[in-house]
Amino acid sequence: MNAVPECPAELDKYWSSIGQSMLTLFYAITNGVAWSDAVRPLEDVSVLAVGFVIFYIIISVFTLLNVVTGVFVNTAIERASADKDIAALKAFQKRKEQIQVLRHAFEAMDHWQTNNLKIKDIEEAMGLESVGAFLESLDISTDDIRMLFTLIDADNSGSIDLEEFVSGCMQLHGPAKSLQLAKMSYENKITREAVNTMGANIRTILARMEVMMKPSGLIREPL
């Protein structure tokens, strides 16, 4: 009788049955067993089997890496989005608190409850340490009170109401250079208005000169 060939111990250890083979493949991708040790017994059985196991390990490892990477990236994106929302909420809350404090500051300076502040009221208020310190805390320079008043007085009425005061201070809120930029913008606006006025005056003078010179014959009508 022909004897049944004995299965090598290593082959029997890793590939003795379908269940054992599946367990070996699982161990191979989870570092439960060195995949080289599991593949070596198959080299004497079939090169195709070796290739299949290696291909399985490569696909499984890359798939696992993609899943893990995707989880980490998704978590990072969610955290970044949450941090951004929290930062926006904090900024909104801070702005709301600043507006409320500006309203209280306006009421403190408006002694006569007229809802309008003159340059004199602002100058007197700057003498109070609390008001000056508050504006400085908003990074609003108080070195030039008259220029500050002019920039806040949006309608050039010579007085500032509550809305102008709050809006103007919030626009000037920032480093000292913000006030300087606003000052330059205001001066540029005044210059443009002056140039436009000068141009209109020149056109008016030229028109009058033309009317005056026509009767004298210095200007002839086109034939």
Biggest alpha carbon–alpha carbon distance for the chain: 146
Residue 74 scores a pLDDT above 80: yes
CB neighbour burial string for 42-59, b if at least 16 within 10 angstroms, e if fewer: beeeeeeebeebeeebee
| End-to-end CA gap in the chain | 137
**Which pLDDT value is given to residue 161?**
92
Residue 85 scores a pLDDT above 70: yes
Average pLDDT, integer, range 125-131: 72
Q: Model confidence over 156-188: pLDDT tens digits?
A: 899 999 999 888 888 877 655 555 667 677 777
Residue 154 scores a pLDDT above 50: yes
* Position 165, amino acid: F
Global pTM?
0.44
Q: Model confidence over 101-111: pLDDT tens digits?
A: 888 888 888 87
C-alpha span between 101 and 95 (Å, rounded): 10
- Percent of the chain residues past pLDDT 70, beyond the cut: 86
Environment class of 188 (CB within 10 Å of its CB; exposed 0-12, middle 13-18, buried 19+): exposed
Residue 216 scores a pLDDT above 70: no
**Which pLDDT value is given to residue 160?**
92
C-alpha span between 80 and 73 (Å, rounded): 10
* 151-172-174 Cα angle (round to 5): 155
> Per-domain residue ranges for the chain?
9-88, 181-216
C-alpha span between 117 and 161 (Å, rounded): 6
CATH of domain 9-88: 1.10.287
Residue 33 scores a pLDDT above 50: yes
> CB of 138 within 8 A of CB of 169?
yes
**Which pLDDT value is given to residue 178?**
58
Residue 2 scores a pLDDT above 50: no
Average pLDDT, integer, range 52-81: 84
Find, among 192, 113, 178, the residue nearest to 148 by Cα: 178
